């Protein structure tokens, strides 16, 4: 693994490089989806790094993914935010795409909040709906593309991690509750996210098939990051913004396109940001990392680093 640049030692070197350059000790890690990078701009007292300057980090190649790792506070809570994520279709191995999630863990993060842009398959969903993800279908995983394939490093987690509890029940409930309190009840949904490799959007037959399989929304990210986050014991909340309706009708003139995805992101960004920031203020954090003092405080769950 080491020669590929995403083993434990590489992650540790990257985490230490970052910790030496910021005093922020994040308890919450946020990943911004396509066109949803504004979330990072909400952080106060920012210390930001361009991905190209961070050792071992991949580079963002997709429009709508700025390529910055931003540390700061959200209503007093210490956070780290990926303003731009990585996707299979960019040509990275799935283990490289998910490397930042392991770095989150080694920075002391306890809770990961992911956002994404997704196409709606559920006919009751409208463009602009926010879907709290309750489960996923990892289609690349069916073909062996799983971020945990290869030798397992027990310092991160177990060889065969459970995924039936991948999306934290309490956080999902809280998202629905906070969302309703904010007045989002009309456009807040719950559902199953399906990841595909992309970058081509779905054919009509594919969208129909995914819907029949039980997916409510389809995208090209998130599930890999969730698998890695759960493997190393972090709690996960994930939100999809339904940026477009998947085309499922041969009479339809609609065509999925990335511009529409980014436009919908811009329209709903403020509400999504408010939902995430309100949740960060209200959530219980297990690792008390807002007052981080050093290595002894780092990750208390599956992945405890050795004292140095
Ligand atoms: O999942 P995020 O990064 O939000 O991006 C989604 O939007 C892009 C397609 O428009 C794809 O990358 C898809 O995965
Ligand atoms: N695969 C896929 N990804 C998306 N991301 C945003 N919209 C879509 C979509 O319709 N399909």
* Catalytic, out of 15, 42, 113, 117: 117
53 found inside a domain: yes
Ligand that comes closest to the CA of residue 39? 1
295 found inside a domain: no
Q: Which atom of ligand 2 is nearest to the CA of 120?
A: 10
42 found inside a domain: yes
Taking only the tens place, the pLDDT of each residue in 20-52 is 999 999 999 999 999 899 999 999 999 999 999
299 found inside a domain: no
Assign residue 239 the CATH number of its domain: 3.40.50.1580
| Residue nearest ligand 2's atom 1 by CA | 219
Q: Does 117 carry a binding-site annotation?
A: yes
| Residue nearest ligand 1's atom 5 by CA | 34
Does the annotation mark 244 as catalytic?
Answer: yes
301 found inside a domain: no
105 found inside a domain: yes
Strands 188-195 and 130-138: parallel
Give the model's confidence band at 6: pLDDT under 50 very low, under 70 low, under 90 confident, else very high: confident
Taking only the tens place, the pLDDT of each residue in 45-98 is 999 999 999 999 999 998 987 899 999 999 899 999 999 999 999 999 999 999
Pocket of ligand 2 (CB under 6 A): 117-119, 196, 198, 201-202, 218-220, 243-244, 246, 256, 261
Q: How far is CA 77 from the centre of its chain?
A: 19
202 found inside a domain: yes
Q: Provide the token pair at 92.
A: 């990275």
Give the model's confidence band at 283: pLDDT under 50 very low, under 70 low, under 90 confident, else very high: confident
User: The domain containing residue 163 runs over which residues?
Assistant: 2-284
Alpha-carbon Rg for the chain, nearest whole angstrom, is 18
Counting the structural domains of the chain, the total is 1
Give the distance (Å) from ligand 2 centre to CA of residue 9. 34
Question: pTM of the predicted model, to two decimals?
Answer: 0.93
Give the model's confidence band at 5: pLDDT under 50 very low, under 70 low, under 90 confident, else very high: low
d(CA 308, CA 305): 9
Model pLDDT, residue 286 = 59
Overall average pLDDT of the 159-184 stretch:
97
Give the distance (Å) from ligand 1 centre to CA of residue 218. 9
- What is the predicted ipTM? 0.99
Does the annotation mark 277 as catalytic?
Answer: no
Neighbours of 70 (CB within 10 A): 24
Residue 57 burial (CB < 10 Å; 0-12/13-18/19+)?
A: buried
29 found inside a domain: yes
């Amino acid at each position: 693994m080491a020669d590929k640049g995403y083993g434990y030692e590489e992650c540790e070197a990257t985490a230490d490089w970052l910790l030496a350059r910021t005093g922020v000790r994040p308890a919450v890690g946020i990943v911004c989806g396509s066109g949803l990078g504004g979330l990072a701009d909400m952080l106060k007292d920012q210390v930001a790094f361009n991905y190209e300057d961070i050792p071992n980090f991949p580079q963002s190649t997709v429009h709508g993914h700025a390529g910055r790792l931003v540390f700061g506070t959200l209503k007093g809570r210490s956070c780290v935010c990926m303003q731009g994520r990585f996707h299979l279709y960019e040509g990275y191995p799935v283990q490289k795409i998910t490397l930042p999630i392991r770095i989150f863990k080694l920075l002391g993060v306890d809770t990961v909040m992911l956002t994404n842009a997704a196409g709606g398959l559920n006919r009751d969903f409208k463009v602009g709906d926010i879907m709290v993800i309750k489960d996923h279908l990892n289609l690349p995983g069916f073909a062996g593309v799983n971020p945990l394939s290869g030798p397992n490093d027990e310092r991160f987690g177990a060889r065969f991690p459970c995924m039936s509890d991948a999306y934290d029940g309490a956080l999902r409930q809280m998202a629905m509750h906070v969302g309703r309190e904010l007045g989002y009840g009309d456009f807040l949904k719950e559902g199953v996210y399906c990841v595909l490799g992309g970058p081509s959007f779905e054919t009509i037959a594919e969208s129909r098939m995914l819907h029949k399989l039980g997916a409510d929304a389809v995208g090209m990210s998130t599930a890999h990051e969730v698998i890695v986050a759960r493997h190393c014991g972090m709690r996960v909340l994930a939100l999809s913004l339904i940026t477009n309706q998947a085309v499922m009708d041969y009479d339809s003139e609609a065509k999925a396109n990335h511009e529409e995805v980014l436009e919908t992101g811009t329209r709903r960004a403020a509400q999504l940001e408010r939902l995430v920031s309100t949740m960060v203020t209200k959530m219980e954090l297990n690792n008390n990392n807002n007052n981080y003092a050093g290595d002894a405080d780092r990750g208390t769950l599956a992945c405890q680093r050795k004292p140095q």
